[in-house]
Amino acid sequence: MKVSLLLFFSFVAGLLVRAAGQMIINRYPVEEAPEAPFAVERARMVEVQLAAPSRGIRDKRVLHVMGNVPRHEFVPPARRARAYSDSALPIGYNQTISQPYIVAFMTEILELKPESRVLEVGTGSGYQSAVLSGLVSKVFTIEIVPELAARAKADLQRLGYTNVDCRTGDGFAGLPEEAPFDAILVTCAADQVPPPLEAQLKPGGRMIIPLNDGSGQTLFLVCKDDLGISKKPVLPVRFVPMRRSKQTER
């Protein structure tokens, strides 16, 4: 009888867990979920790590795209079981895929519009590029590590992100041939806001960038208007350092 009761309660518990997962998916629906366990984890990530009052991501478009981009596809296979954890993860070459909350926060603060053209400095895994892809008309992304740039480009193409233009090069210099940009998102810590990026930001545009401040790093929101450039600290963070080519270090 005890064994039967244990089996019964285990069965009921399993039903409750599956029902809870489905409730989360219903609240933040995914467009495609070929791998059901990942879909449940992704929906839970949105509810717990992003939309919870303590986190405060409110933009419904950002929440929707975060619930649909398959983060596990941008994580090395050995780390895939932790793809939806509340943390950054190594992706090789001394680089990381950012914590989901930071990706959502940086994306939301740019106040992107469907017609926006965005520059991302530091492609890394390509995950942030994929998130931006679902919100704007065009994403230009640049990565200084050739191996990462090639891998991210292949993954983004394989997954159907057709409005992302991947480049290999020094992000400090930006992409002057494609400027101006409505928004710029930098995923590596610099000692200063690169002057080329300031110049390539459209008037009325916004940039989010982590800057070294002596004791750590802080995310700064950079806004450009008719009076010039303003900077506002918004969040303490920790990013990999910005790598530079010999040309921009001169």
The structural domains of the chain, with segments of one domain joined by +, span: 1-68, 86-249
Low-confidence ranges of the chain (pLDDT < 50): 1-18, 20-22, 24-26, 28-34
**What integer pLDDT is reported at residue 37 of this predicted model?**
84
pTM: 0.85
Listed residue (66, 60, 185, 171) closest to 116, CA to CA: 185
**What integer pLDDT is reported at residue 185 of this predicted model?**
98
**What integer pLDDT is reported at residue 246 of this predicted model?**
63
- CA–CA separation, 68 and 154 (whole Å): 19
- CA–CA separation, 217 and 98 (whole Å): 15
- CA–CA separation, 129 and 69 (whole Å): 10
98 is catalytic: yes
Reported as a single tens digit per residue, the pLDDT across 168-214 is 999 999 999 999 999 999 999 999 999 999 999 999 999 999 999 88
Domain 86-249, what architecture? 3-Layer(aba) Sandwich (3.40)
Catalytic pick from 10, 54, 85, 98?
98
Judged by DSSP in three states, 223 sits in strand
